[in-house]
Structure 1
């Protein structure tokens, strides 16, 4: 009996890990920043719903990522061999079954938090279909635009999940984080440059690599300065934040190996997470 229970536990753990690997690359770039941003930007967050937010965001990421990774599994053999499809952890048919099973799961789960969360869930599905099945990811412009809209929708949906109202600070926070995301999102494309070229995908990095690197070198420190002023960050913290952004921007220009790109992307993800915490800084020190 004990051996059967242990075997069942191992199988369940294996399936959970398989699902997690679909979303692994989005944990630091999407799940963590949006979770933190929801509590930092929302005027009246319910802190008891932190697990609710994580589950809601992760389910929608999982649904989108399965659909996306089914489109071109051969590309992942080069860029991300750890993912379930190229690693042989799941068949394409089983992945498709899970993807369509998640659609009603996400909608029903969202409906328990109200009409706003449900509307965000439905809109995310429409964006996912456009992105994955109607060529939304084939050009850098459409890819970045759809990703930015989806990011803002996740933030709105997460805010609905915690039952918070929306005020001008939240609007500014989401607007600026979305613009920052749209203008720096190609940071993630550097580590996939070789695979994108092989797949013929037209991104800013593959089409204009020098411009892409220059934009990171200038854009990240510039955004660090502007956001520090916008959210009235103290002088010492502003200098540290701007210095960190300058180091990251310089890395994209100076270090150009695949390994360096991966490290730069990790540092960028941390920087972008800090961007999402700045509205919380303002609320704590400046809100009346």
Structure 2
């Protein structure tokens, strides 16, 4: 009896770890930043709602990653051989089944939290199909950047809705937060593509770092500095914070322009996400200041 329980427990852990491996690369770059974004952007964030919001976000992240990795298994052979399909932990056939099973699972979970969350989930599934099955991301870097921005906006909207005391709708601060984030991603998300250039070339993907590497690198400091200026102006940030964010944008931009090995690009992208997390925190700063002014 004990052996059966042990084997069952080991099997469950094996499958859970396999699911985690599908999303491992995006924990630092999506799961954590979007969670902090939701805390900052939501109107009266409820701590008790956070487990629900994180579960919703992780399920949709899992859905996207399974769809993406099933569509392009040859890419992971070059870039991330430890993932479930190239490592042999899951067959492509079973991953394809999981990919489509996750669609009704995401919709059912979203429905439990209201029609707004369900609408976001349906939109996200449509974007996932456009990105993977329709291969819009591979045709041109503009399509890839725009789809990334829309997908991240869906992540942020759904997670922010579930984090708020009321999941009926985003308020004006939440909407502005999502729009700013989408703009940043649409114009700078190719920061994530420098580290994947060797694998992307082998599968024929036309990312901006492949199509025009010089312009791609120069666009990062320009984009980060411009978006920093826009964000601090919109959220009314104090000068000390402004100087810190500008210095960070300049430092990260310098890294992308002058440090160009694959390892350098991996580290630079981590710094890019640190900057993004700081920008994501600004709506919370704005809300605190507004409440202080209202209280006077």
Which residue number corresponds to residue 123 of structure 1?
Answer: 123
Which residue number corresponds to residue 145 of structure 2?
Answer: 144
Which residue number corresponds to residue 69 of structure 1?
Answer: 69
- Cα distance, 1:217 vs. partner? 2.1
Which residue number corresponds to residue 160 of structure 2?
Answer: 159
- Cα distance, 1:47 vs. partner? 2.1
1:249 maps onto 2:258 in alignment = no
Which residue number corresponds to residue 20 of structure 2?
Answer: 20
Question: What is the alpha-carbon distance in structure 2 between the residues aligned to residue 140 and residue 258 of structure 1?
Answer: 20
Does structure 1 conserve the Cα–Cα contact (< 8 Å) formed by 2:161 and 2:170? no
TM-score (norm 1): 0.95
Does structure 2 conserve the Cα–Cα contact (< 8 Å) formed by 1:221 and 1:246? yes
**CA distances 1:26-83 after superposition (whole Å, capped 9, x unpaired):** 2222222221112211223222110111110111111111111111211111111121
State the number of aligned residues.
288
Does structure 2 conserve the Cα–Cα contact (< 8 Å) formed by 1:114 and 1:160? no
Residues 185-224 of structure 1 aligned to structure 2 (within 5 Å):
185-224=189-228
Residues 1-288 of structure 1 aligned to structure 2 (within 5 Å):
1-138=1-138, 139-162=140-163, 163-164=166-167, 165-287=169-291, 288=294
Helix, strand or coil for the counterpart of 1:191? helix
Question: What is the alpha-carbon distance in structure 2 between the residues aligned to residue 263 and residue 9 of structure 1?
Answer: 37
- Cα distance, 1:6 vs. partner? 3.3
Helix, strand or coil for the counterpart of 1:82? coil
Q: Between 145-154 and 218-227, report the one with greater CA deviation.
A: 218-227
Does structure 1 conserve the Cα–Cα contact (< 8 Å) formed by 2:149 and 2:182? yes
Does structure 2 conserve the Cα–Cα contact (< 8 Å) formed by 1:221 and 1:243? no
Question: What is the alpha-carbon distance in structure 1 between the residues aligned to residue 10 and residue 244 of structure 2?
Answer: 45
- Cα distance, 1:3 vs. partner? 4.2
Helix, strand or coil for the counterpart of 1:86? helix
**CA distances 1:180-205 after superposition (whole Å, capped 9, x unpaired):** 11111000000001111111111111
TM-score (norm 2): 0.92
- Cα distance, 1:166 vs. partner? 2.2
Does structure 2 conserve the Cα–Cα contact (< 8 Å) formed by 1:28 and 1:270? no
Question: What is the alpha-carbon distance in structure 1 between the residues aligned to residue 277 and residue 13 of structure 2?
Answer: 29
Flag structure 1 segments of 5+ consecutive residues without an equivalent: none
**CA distances 1:106-143 after superposition (whole Å, capped 9, x unpaired):** 11111001111111111111111111111211121111
